[in-house]
Amino acid sequence: MKIFKWSLTLLTITSIYSCSTNIDQRTQLVNLCSFISTSSSTLPIPNSTITSSSIVPNGTVVSNYPLPEHCLVTGVAGAYTGADKVSYGTGFELRLPLNWNGRFMFQGGGGSEGSVPAAIGVAGSMTPALSQGWAVVTQDGGHANTVLTAAGKATLDFLSEPNATIEWGYGSIDKATQTAKSIIKTFYGRSPDRSYHVGCSTGGRQGMEFMQRFPSYFDGVVSGDPVYDLTAITQSEVNSLQAIASLVSKDANGNAQFNQSFTVADQGLFTQAILEACDANDGAVDGVIDNPSSCKFDPATYVFKSTQPLMCSGAKTAACLSSDQITAIKKINQGPTTSAGASVVVPSGTKIEGYPYDGGFMAATGIPTRNIGTATAAPGNLALGTNQIGYYISPQIPTLVPYKSWSFDIDPPRLQANHPVIAASTNIDSFVNKGGKVIWYHGASDPGPSAAYTVNYFKNINNKYSNAQNFSRLFLVPNMGHCSGGPSTDQFDMLTPMVNWVEKGIAPESVIASGSGFNSPPAARTRPLCAYPKSAKYTGPVAGDVGNAANFTCQ
C-alpha cells in the first residue's frame, strides 16, 4: 500500500511537471524556430544559408492535408556557381513538429527534381508522416529548374555541368541529410532516435544511394520503383519506343505517330487475352494476376477460349492483333537485343531489361502511357525518359532523339560506366552490418523502370548475403504502373512496417493495400501485398468477396 501511495504521488508530480515542461518546451521551441534562421554559420556544409524559419500554425493545410504546429525551415546547402555560370546548391525544406516523436524522415524526390517538394512525409501513398510527429526533409537535387530556365537552359542541362551531375546523383541528398540532422539537433537538443528514407522513382534510387554511399545515415530505407541505373533503364524505354515506332507512319517532321500503333480497343484485346490466360491462376478471376510467375503466356500463339487466335492469321481485324503488333509487344517484353540476338549489357554492368507481362501491361497506366500515348498525350518515355541518354554518352549530345537513331548493336558502349546517377552496386556491407533494413516495392506494370530491374537487384542481394532475409523485403504490386495508378491496390503504407521492423524486430511478410480503380466489381478492394517470391492466393469461400484482403493469403 505504501508503495502504491508513493507511486501515485510520483505520478501526480510527474504529470504536473511534464505538463508545465510541455508549456515551457513549446515556448522554447517557438523561440528556437525564430533563432534557427540566424544560425546559418553552424551548418555542417560550407556555403549554406537558412533562408527562413517560422512557425506554421496547427491546422494549416498543405497539399490538402491539415498539419500539426511545426517549425518550417528553408534554405540552400552548399551554394556554388557552376562552370556553366548557373547558380547551383541544394535547396531544402525541413519541417519540425513541436510534438516530435524522435524520428527523422528523408522524403525522396521524383523525376529530374529541380524544385523542393513540401516536406510533409507523403512519399508513396502515405498520409503525412509529419502529422504523426516526424521531422521531414526534402530537397531539389541540387538544381533549381527556375534558375536553369531563367539562364536560357533546358531543365536537364544541369547534366552537362559535372558537379551538378554529381549533386543530382548523390551529393544533394548527402548535404540535405547532414544539414537536416544538424538543425534537428539545434532545435530539439538531440539527434533523431531513428532515421528513415522513403521515396519512389528517383526517390527509390536515392534510397539505394544512401545504402551504398552513406550507409550510416538511415536505419531503414523504403525504395519504390527505383530508377537505379538510368543508363540501362532509359535503354529499356528506347527499345519500347522503337518497337512502337516500327508500327506507325511518321509526320512531316519525321516524328512517329505512336498513338496509331494500338487503338484503345487493341489494347483491350491484349488485356483480355492475358487475363483469360492467367487471371484464374491465383484462385480468383478478378482482373489481377497475383502470381505472374505462373503465367505462361505467348501472345503469338495464344488462342482465346472462343477459338479465335489473338494474332491474326491474315489481315488485321477487330478480333485480333496483327503479327507486327505482336512482334512489337514481344520486343517490349523481351528487352533489346543485338541484331545477332544477344542481350545487351551497358558499361555499368547492368543488363537492359524488358517489361514483364502483367494484367496492367496494356492498361492505360502501363505501356500505353509511356510508349503509345493518346491522341492528346505524347508517350511519356519521349520526355523525361529517353531524352536523358544524350547526357549519359561521351561526348554528350543533349539533342539526341534515341528512338530515331539509337542502335543496340553499336551505341550502348558510348554510355558512361560510372555515371553518378548509377546506384547499381550490391556492396552494402556497411548498411547491413549496422543493422539497416530495406523494403523495396515496384509496380508490376511499371512502363518506366521495369520491375525486372528491382527483382534482379533483390535476387543479387539475396545471393550475396546469406542473411538477406534479416534486412531485405520486396513487394511487387500487380497491375500498378509507375509508383501508383492502374486497376491496382496502389495505396499502401510501407513506412509503418519499416518502423516495426527497425524498432520492434517485426519483419514484414505482407502489407495490406487498397485501391479503388478496378475495372470489374468490386471497384474498391483491399488485398495483401506479399513478400517476394510469395504472392496473394485467394483462400476465401467459393464465390466470396475478392475485394476483401482477409480472403487472401500469401503463399
Residues found near Ca ion in the complex (CB under 5 A)? 279, 282, 284, 286, 288
> In angstroms, how far is the first alpha carbon of the chain from the final one?
54
How far is residue 536's CA from residue 555's CA, in Å, rounded to a whole number? 6
Instruction: Cell numbers for 271, please give them.
Output: 488485356
In the bound state with Ca ion, the residue whose beta carbon lies nearer, of 71 and 288, is 288
DSSP string for 119-134: -SS-STTPPPGGGGT-
CB of 289 to Ca ion, least distance (A): 6
State the number of CA atoms in the 13 A half-sphere of 156 facing the CB.
Answer: 17
How far is residue 261's CA from residue 519's CA, in Å, rounded to a whole number? 23
How far is residue 356's CA from residue 344's CA, in Å, rounded to a whole number? 17
The question of whether 201 is a catalytic residue gets the answer: yes
How far is residue 222's CA from residue 124's CA, in Å, rounded to a whole number? 10
Whose cell is 527499345? That residue is 239
CB of 276 to Ca ion, least distance (A): 11
Active-site option among 482, 490, 493, 510: 482
How far is residue 93's CA from residue 53's CA, in Å, rounded to a whole number? 10
Measured in whole angstroms, the distance separating CA 482 from the mean position of its chain's CA atoms is: 7
What SS3 state is found at 149? Answer: helix
**64 secondary structure, DSSP code:** T
CB of 440 to Ca ion, least distance (A): 23
How far is residue 35's CA from residue 28's CA, in Å, rounded to a whole number? 10
CB of 180 to Ca ion, least distance (A): 43
Going 208 to 209 to 214 to 219, the CA torsion angle's sign is: negative
Among candidates 227, 233, 228, 238, which has minimal Cα distance to 382? 238
How far is residue 163's CA from residue 260's CA, in Å, rounded to a whole number? 42
CB of 536 to Ca ion, least distance (A): 9
Active-site option among 229, 286, 446, 493: 446
The question of whether 482 is a catalytic residue gets the answer: yes
In the bound state with Ca ion, the residue whose beta carbon lies nearer, of 360 and 402, is 360
In the bound state with Ca ion, the residue whose beta carbon lies nearer, of 174 and 282, is 282
In the bound state with Ca ion, the residue whose beta carbon lies nearer, of 211 and 289, is 289
In the beta sheet, which residues pair with residue 526?
Answer: 514
3-state helix, strand, coil in the chain (%, to 5): 35, 20, 45
In the bound state with Ca ion, the residue whose beta carbon lies nearer, of 228 and 270, is 270
Listed in sequence order, the DSSP H helices in 279-334 are 323-334
| Cis? peptide before 57, omega within 30° of 0 | no
In the bound state with Ca ion, the residue whose beta carbon lies nearer, of 91 and 283, is 283
The question of whether 446 is a catalytic residue gets the answer: yes
CB of 406 to Ca ion, least distance (A): 37
Active-site option among 182, 201, 223, 535: 201
In the bound state with Ca ion, the residue whose beta carbon lies nearer, of 211 and 288, is 288
CB of 469 to Ca ion, least distance (A): 27
Q: Active-site positions?
A: 201, 446, 482
